[in-house]
């Protein structure tokens, strides 16, 4: 059964079908045993779902959850009212153009070369391209946390034992780890728990990514140019909505996920097939399934 | 913007201004749904409670960076889904950790059907057999009743993809329910 017919049958079963499509759906039911079976399956599932009822916290669990959060967030005593944080005005248009240009020159060109050739030399070029701007384009590194006060930009990643009062991030007293640098300034950590930072650091180091700031740079550059570059890249990864094929000859796993502004990215480690060189670490924007940047690795 | 979204935005602003009551109101509005998503995705009450707590910690700690591009609830539920994905990924990475052998609720009072309708065993087991992306879509749309557009934003996929996952997920769910029924696998009496 094709997707269209399946959608008709499913929407007929759950009552969301457009009235103008209902005759077609009912005709399909009359004429096709497969459609009838699909309709019955949808009804069976919906009946079970409706019978399941809501999953609710018990009173004890609810109370414990709130008490724990209040403690960990430091809300036991009401803090002094303070004005809501306001983002500093940022010239997004100019930043986007600059970021697009930067990424186009230092990331996309060698990346496209890699996509077309898959050669080791292209991978090496990418590694160099990613490293070079980190030293001479400091302005671009701040895009991921643009609009935030300077003291926040240098704050290390939060940990569970850093329960500072609301709005007061802990002062940085030691040199941050590469992993902490990587996450510094991200609006929030989508799926990375703070307890995984050491693990991620180890992963980055095992991939010879000992200077995570280069990834921060590439993320920042991408942040301002997500829309304009997405159509240029047509390599997709089989994760969540990225339903198209994994690049031929590769297998791998997602090792980290994070949010940069409203763009979800995944750090995807690829394992080259035997005898093939190429990238071992890629950034993929999950919203569009687009590859953002690649790094030379073991190939 | 819906009334709920507008109210949430105001509550976030009040929370950022130091109004602890806003914290309680936000929790009351969303804690059950976050927990429901986590319970259905993780299939373990204790793990779901942990994920729920982690979700709210993340969101409240980062509330001052919530840009308001989407509804607060969409952001919150997306963090919840991602937290659950992360928990599942950690479980897969640490195969030596013992998996829960039962799904007894951590809190005995939660067995009270009125206070806390738990996930029914049959549908829980059937859901568990679904691939993660289908389980998430069915949980969010059918079990939690969130809109397709919201689900799409939470999962970071197009609406059409959500629809497809829900429809195909239901079909798989029905198959699993059939396999799990008491009669499954038993020879049928001949007429």
Q: Which residue has the tokens 């609006």?
A: A187
Contacts of B71 in chain A (CB under 8 A): none
- ipTM entry: 0.77
Residue A65 has a pLDDT of 94
Is the predicted pLDDT of residue A219 greater than 50, yes or no? no
Contacts of B69 in chain A (CB under 8 A): 262
pTM: 0.49
CA dist., res. A208 & res. B182, Å (int): 54
Q: A47 in contact with B at a CB cutoff of 8 Å?
A: no
- Mean pLDDT across the stretch A272-296? 46
What pairs with residue A270 in β-bridges?
A: A252
| Mean pLDDT of successive 10-residue stretches along chain B, which has 191 residues | 83 90 93 92 91 94 80 90 85 48 41 38 82 90 88 87 92 84 43 37
- Asked if residue B154 lies in contact with residue B140, where contact means CB atoms within 8 angstroms, the answer is yes
CA dist., res. A96 & res. B162, Å (int): 30
The residue among B41, B59, B63, B82 with the most chain A CBs within 10 A of its CB, best to mutate, is: B82
Tokens of B76: 């919150």
Assign residue B145 a region (left: φ > 0; alpha: ψ between -120 and 50; beta: otherwise): left
Report pLDDT digits (tens) over A10-33.
999 988 888 999 999 999 999 989
Distance from CA of B111 to the nearest CA of A (A): 9
Helix and strand numbers (H, E) in chain A are 12, 4
Distance from CA of A119 to the nearest CA of B (A): 31
Tokens of A171: 């002062």
Assign residue B164 a region (left: φ > 0; alpha: ψ between -120 and 50; beta: otherwise): alpha
More confident position, A91 or A151: A91
Size of interface A-B (CB pairs under 8 A): 197
Distance from CA of A102 to the nearest CA of B (A): 25
Q: A89 in contact with B at a CB cutoff of 8 Å?
A: no
Nearest to A65 among B31, B120, B173 (CB): B31
């Amino acid at each position: 059964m094709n997707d269209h017919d399946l959608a008709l049958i499913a929407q007929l079963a759950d009552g969301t079908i457009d009235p103008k499509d209902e005759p077609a759906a009912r005709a399909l039911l009359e004429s096709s045993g497969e459609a009838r079976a699909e309709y019955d399956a949808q009804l069976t599932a919906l009946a079970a779902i409706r019978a399941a009822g809501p999953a609710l916290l018990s009173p004890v669990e609810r109370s414990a959850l709130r008490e724990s959060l209040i403690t960990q967030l430091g809300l036991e005593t009401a803090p002094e009212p303070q004005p809501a944080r306001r983002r500093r005005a940022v010239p997004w248009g100019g930043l986007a153009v600059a970021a697009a240009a930067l990424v186009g020159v230092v990331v996309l060109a060698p990346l496209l070369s890699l996509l077309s050739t898959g050669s080791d030399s292209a991978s090496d070029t990418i590694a160099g391209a990613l490293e070079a701007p980190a030293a001479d384009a400091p302005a671009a590194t701040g895009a991921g946390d643009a609009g935030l006060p300077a003291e926040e930009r240098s704050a290390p990643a939060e940990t569970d034992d850093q329960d500072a009062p609301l709005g007061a991030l802990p002062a940085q007293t030691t040199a941050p780890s590469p992993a902490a640098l990587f996450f510094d300034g991200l609006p929030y950590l989508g799926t990375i728990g703070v307890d995984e930072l050491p693990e991620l650091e180890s992963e980055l180091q095992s991939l010879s990514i000992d200077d995570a700031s280069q990834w921060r740079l590439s993320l920042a550059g991408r942040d301002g140019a997500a829309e304009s570059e997405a159509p240029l890249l047509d390599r997709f990864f089989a994760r969540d909505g990225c339903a198209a094929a994994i690049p031929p000859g590769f297998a791998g796993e997602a090792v980290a996920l994070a949010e940069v502004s409203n763009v979800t990215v995944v750090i995807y480690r690829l394992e080259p097939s035997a005898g093939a060189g190429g990238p071992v670490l890629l950034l993929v924007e999950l919203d569009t399934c687009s590859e953002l940047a690649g790094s030379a690795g073991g190939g | 913007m819906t009334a709920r979204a507008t109210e949430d935005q105001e509550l976030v602003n009040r929370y950022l201004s130091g109004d602890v009551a806003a914290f309680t109101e936000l929790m009351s509005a969303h804690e059950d749904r976050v927990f429901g998503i986590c319970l259905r995705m993780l299939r373990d009450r204790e793990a779901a409670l942990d994920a729920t707590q982690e979700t709210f910690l993340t969101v409240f700690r980062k509330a001052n960076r919530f840009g308001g591009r989407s509804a607060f609830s969409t952001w919150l539920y997306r963090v919840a889904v991602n937290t659950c994905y992360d928990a599942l990924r950690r479980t897969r990475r640490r195969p030596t950790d013992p998996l829960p052998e039962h799904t007894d609720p951590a809190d005995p009072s939660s067995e009270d059907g009125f206070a806390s309708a738990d996930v029914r065993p049959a549908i829980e087991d059937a859901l568990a057999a679904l691939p993660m992306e289908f389980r998430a879509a069915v949980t969010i749309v059918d079990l939690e009743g969130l809109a397709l557009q919201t689900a799409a934003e939470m999962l970071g996929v197009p609406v059409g993809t959500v629809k497809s996952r829900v429809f195909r997920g239901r079909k798989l769910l029905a198959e699993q329910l059939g396999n799990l029924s008491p009669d499954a696998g038993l020879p049928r009496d001949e007429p």
